Structure 1
Amino acid sequence: MTTKMMMTASALALGLGVGAVQAQDDPIKIGMAAYGLNAEFMQLWSAAGETHPAVQSGMVELTIFDGRYDALVQQDQFETMITQGFDAIVFAPMDVEAGATAVQLAVDAGIPVVGSNARVNSDLLTAYVGSNDVEAGYLEAKAVLDKMGCTGDVVIIEGPIGQSGEIQRGEGNEQALAECPDVSILERQTGNWSRAEAQALMENWLTSHGENIKGVIAQNDEMALGAIEAIKAAGMDVSDFAIAGVDGVTDALNAVKSGEMDSILQDGEAQALGSIDVAIKAVRPEYEPMADIWEQYPEMPWNDGASKEYNVPWTPVTADNVDDLLAGRQ
């Protein structure tokens, strides 16, 4: 192209204005790969992605993938996204190690991957947008132990073995337990983030240990709620147990309000919206964030999308804020 032709093309572009330039851009195809959509938290996370202003405006074409709690299913979904020419992927992995293979496949295909909510053992991520699960594990265990007065025995209902939430919340649980050396762990087993599985575990443990169980540390709310159901089904008084979970799902908020458990809100909406902003930035370097979470959480600066890690703060659910949190779910 000659200099004259370049000048003419430039002038024409200026004359057409920004709107015309945007009209020439295809929508950015982003996949949100959830580890599983059976429970409320990941449902809230994925639904939040669909409310992102760039999705609502048509700038982004968003596709939600249900990983069905299976790392191999997620890898197959990555291969589908690669074949279909997706521009970026937001990834909530089922397994901290197995998920690294999926990330490698995408990056080798030139597709940026933003980790969200759950971690993967890969240094190839564009960034991670989530919350500090070690802190959550400590806070929930401390809530149980404080209510017990650091005496008595507990059971721990873990997340899926090998998932980053299970690993890191477990670390936090141990930190809190180390502060109460007189407390013993009677049982420790995975409930796979499932209310039904946790209920079955708790039913068995109540049969084995009965009133010796004073505290239940459940690594998510669904499992804490399952433990509560088991206690009620056994004809026991929930108030005799110290119970805590993590996430702030709707049923848990109601259980906190009724005094049955403690919970810590994980802001899945902020994680999802922030991840999409970072993913768009990886595709279009000129992009400025559209989500309002950067103003909501000033302690998590946008930093022009250049940070490798964005930690969304936890919010302990209390009597003072639970009604407002529930109102936000209407």
Structure 2
Amino acid sequence: MKRIQLTSLSSLFFLSVLLAACSQSSTSEKSADGEGKKLVVGVTMLSMQNEFIVNVHDAMVKKAEADGVELITVDAERSALKQVEQVESFIAQKVDAIIMNPCEVEASSPAVTKALAAKIPIINVNSETSAKPTAFVGSDDVESARIAMKYIAEKLGGKGNVLMMHGYMGQAAQIKREQGAREILKQYPNLKLLAHQTGEWDRAKGMSLMENWIQSYGSQINAVFAQNDEMGLGAVKALTDAGLKDKVIVVSIDAIPDGLQAVKKGTLDATVFQNAEEQGSKAVETAVKAAKGQAYGKETLIPFQLVTKENLTKFLK
């Protein structure tokens, strides 16, 4: 009797093992077919030394974690050549989609062409390339500069001398922000552009550039338009050290936390809010939809907003 019972139990055991093996095999096949597989998205960022770019990436990470997506992030360190190589690596890894924060309009374009040739969707975030990607998520940089320069023009009563700090030359944001600024300058013939030069989106370089301009132009300077907050804050420091800040209007773009605090203190006259969180989140959302073959927007433009002391509380976290 005992022997028969043991044999029955043994049979049940082997039957359960067999069923488990079949189930595991079925799951593996399902995963291989692409169902239930975790999507992998390759991400190449312009520079992880830039606070705004880091904020965009942080939003990507948050969205990816919420959606169960794996991100592989690399830093292009402002090199378009390196960025193209990084995209080539993503293609070799057979990622499901690529998000690129382009270093340059032209030099980063081969990355787009290569990804599309490999039939991998590629989404440009924050900045553009001449080669058209699967989709673009960002903001209208021309509009951001129009907002900033219009504020300067109104504050100066349409008359005075302005300096402009460019971002990294050849990048879409730099090109378009210069375009927007010049559009407004044309509308105010009594506003003179004294000088313009790159500070490469960098605070220390912005400060050094401003120190040089103070040496060259001194009390002639009425306003500074910096194409991002990092350079704007560098300009504020140089002007403060020279005892000129109270006489010079400084406006920049991005509304990073340091920029908002400077507006609160009154050292930065205004900044233009660019929504890093929305850009990062929408980039991942678009990449996932494109990878799954779902409907997605070819272009997602998130509006800029002027930030001054009057509406600052709306943007402080």
TM-score of the superposed pair, with normalisation by structure 2: 0.86
Q: Deviation of residue 237 (structure 1)? A: 3.5
Identify the residue that residue 259 of structure 1 maps to in structure 2. Answer: 266
Decide which of 261, 282, 289 is 1:281's aligned counterpart.
289
Matched, 1:56 2:46: no
State the alpha-carbon separation in 1 of the partners of residues 150 and 46 from structure 2. 28
Aligned AA for 1:99?
S
Identify the residue that residue 252 of structure 2 maps to in structure 1. Answer: 245
State the alpha-carbon separation in 2 of the partners of residues 45 and 183 from structure 1. 34
User: Which deviates further from its counterpart, 24-33 or 65-74?
Assistant: 24-33
Identify the residue that residue 121 of structure 2 maps to in structure 1. Answer: 112
Decide which of 26, 29, 43 is 2:54's aligned counterpart.
43
Identify the residue that residue 158 of structure 1 maps to in structure 2. Answer: 166
Per-residue CA deviations over 1:171-222 (Å, capped at 9, x if unaligned) read: 1000111121012111110111011111111101101110101010111111
State the alpha-carbon separation in 1 of the partners of residues 153 and 138 from structure 2. 26
Per-residue CA deviations over 1:10-41 (Å, capped at 9, x if unaligned) read: xxxxxx9xxx9999522111122110111210
Q: Deviation of residue 268 (structure 1)? A: 1.2
Q: Deviation of residue 325 (structure 1)? A: 2.1
Aligned AA for 2:258?
D
Identify the residue that residue 226 of structure 2 maps to in structure 1. Answer: 218
Superposition pairs of residues 130-145 of structure 1, within 5 angstroms: 130-145=138-153
State the alpha-carbon separation in 2 of the partners of residues 318 and 224 from structure 1. 14
For the residue of structure 1 that corresponds to 2:223, the secondary structure is strand
Contact 1:130–1:311, Cα closer than 8 Å, also in 2: yes
User: Which deviates further from its counterpart, 147-156 or 315-324?
Assistant: 315-324
Q: Which runs of 5+ in 2 are unaligned?
A: 1-25
State the alpha-carbon separation in 1 of the partners of residues 146 and 281 from structure 2. 26
For the residue of structure 1 that corresponds to 2:222, the secondary structure is strand
Aligned AA for 1:233?
D
Decide which of 79, 85, 91 is 1:70's aligned counterpart.
79
Could you tell me the percent identity over the aligned residues?
Answer: 34
For the residue of structure 2 that corresponds to 1:223, the secondary structure is helix
Per-residue CA deviations over 1:290-322 (Å, capped at 9, x if unaligned) read: xxxxxxxxxxxxxx41x3211101122133442
Decide which of 93, 102, 108 is 2:111's aligned counterpart.
102
Contact 2:47–2:75, Cα closer than 8 Å, also in 1: yes
Matched, 1:26 2:34: no
Q: Deviation of residue 109 (structure 1)? A: 1.4
Contact 2:42–2:71, Cα closer than 8 Å, also in 1: yes
Identify the residue that residue 319 of structure 1 maps to in structure 2. Answer: 309
TM-score of the superposed pair, with normalisation by structure 1: 0.83
For the residue of structure 2 that corresponds to 1:64, the secondary structure is strand
Aligned AA for 1:325?
F
State the alpha-carbon separation in 2 of the partners of residues 63 and 229 from structure 1. 37
For the residue of structure 2 that corresponds to 1:69, the secondary structure is coil
Q: How many residues align?
A: 288
Identify the residue that residue 172 of structure 1 maps to in structure 2. Answer: 180
Contact 1:159–1:190, Cα closer than 8 Å, also in 2: yes
Q: Deviation of residue 323 (structure 1)? A: 2.8
Q: Deviation of residue 132 (structure 1)? A: 0.4
For the residue of structure 2 that corresponds to 1:94, the secondary structure is coil
Contact 1:32–1:63, Cα closer than 8 Å, also in 2: yes
Structure of larger gyration radius: 2
Aligned AA for 2:85?
D
For the residue of structure 2 that corresponds to 1:263, the secondary structure is strand
Identify the residue that residue 3 of structure 1 maps to in structure 2. Answer: none
For the residue of structure 2 that corresponds to 1:168, the secondary structure is helix
Contact 1:145–1:215, Cα closer than 8 Å, also in 2: no
Aligned AA for 1:30?
V
Contact 2:148–2:306, Cα closer than 8 Å, also in 1: no
State the alpha-carbon separation in 1 of the partners of residues 220 and 117 from structure 2. 53
Matched, 1:233 2:241: yes
Aligned AA for 1:37?
M
